[in-house]
Structure 1
């Protein structure tokens, strides 16, 4: 038996082909004229694929192997019985006597109805057996109308019954119009399943490309970039749940982030006060330090400055040491980024770490003309934008596979370039930080 199983939509499409006599979910019966024409064209040099494609068949549906085996069988029949053998062939039944003689129509009709009843009740019993373990023992009168419609359709497709829909509906106790309405819905459901699966393959490819570290909003923007038209974000979320596409989410360590901050040096007030909704580039910066362990267990420390309005990383520096040079080099790169274009209300916000309370750092900030602001003691949420960036960076940068500082630097530089220039963000009107900065400046 063929391993190919046709869905409702494919069966409908095959039934529209004039070269098809009947279709079930696993087999196709072709017309005698097509069989004869196919054999003659094959003798003239045409291959099975060409013959079937010219006859209007989609080989991705019926399968090239099925087409080839069918043609081989027809050639053997043609060699033995000639054209008449192909026109009168009945697979699985003897043709020697030319078929069973016709009997009285009424008697034959009654026999067909009786056979249909037996076949329906057998299929219904099989359905009850299969559902007994999951739903408990059920009687035939407990079957839902949808289940009865499914049994009717299975019987018709399996035994290739014709003109017995009304009879089967009467046996099942359902209406004929209800069955055809269900059949129409089933075809739509089949088409929807095909579309869902095609979209799933696209989303899975994009999800794998980002190593599973992208959510439905990120996939929305990736699809928009790839095909030029959007896919509804609710549809993306539904397909992710349906096919089990799971995004890797970092776990929070609140205790490490809420550790007590030192006040060895002078602190300053929290001027920012969580006012993260800024619309002027270069007005508010946030900064912090994180660590990135390498394969050998050595920590590489990363200091970053982020523009709150555009979410762009405007300066960063890496070092294997926590000396003051780490933040001083970062401020030097921030000065290069500003290039003399300083906002009159420019502010830089940090936590109360050792580096930011150090007199050397505070003096440098005043030289740059920036107002210094600090989070409240032990409250990482006051500096949430930079903490969020560090979380995303650690999700994507495989720093634990790096051997030394140079490898980590290469990884971090590459990610920050991607983050600033390529990674679209939902809350930036689906733009990258650099695009959003240009947008704000133009506005």
Structure 2
């Protein structure tokens, strides 16, 4: 590892590069995609520093020693294990590397853990894609993503894959732990929202016809003596899918308007507005 320490400005600039997973003052973690790209371009005869520079890295910030050591490490790993040697396997292992050979049982156990990780990842991505299709703007709320992660972890026998699932989706672990801690607060808020839902539905169906947020606000104030913010009413309606039907335009009226749109009426007045008799010509 290079002894060069990154400044805050360099950390910020490097973290914007799509080929970097994490960067700190002393270390930098590259994506598996960049490692494969590096090996492919190195085989074609490109210099290591040129490959880094072409892919958006600041050569001066990284330093020659760090580039050389990364290049040597990846080339050796590729010679030994091929593409698999370029994969970051730290999420599947911890502690010091074993000097002895693994037994068959230990190899099977490790493979089972690895398969379980990929299964959880595939299930999480599938559920997020399914829910994003059901959301109008295609973007899920962070709390919904945390709920999916919690649901997958509750089914799995391996509970230590939180980091892996959070990295796959691109959310923070601290945010997930805060989500778990705030469960009681969310339950209290949910109970309040259910009470508001009952009140909004009562005004929504008052006098037998459905209403929008403005009408609901007026009904609550005039009929039930309740003052609720209109944005709060809108939030409850969105959350519980309470929709006000919009009256469709009369098709016959639209057809009539379309047929008359380009008709030319006869010019009877011919700009002679003053006729000398009151009420003979009426203008509007």
The higher relative CO (CA closer than 8 Å, separation ≥ 6) is in 1
TM-score range relative to shorter protein? 0.3 to 0.5
Q: TM-score, normalised by structure 1?
A: 0.24
Which of the two has higher C-alpha Rg? Answer: 1
Higher helix share: 2
Higher strand share: 1
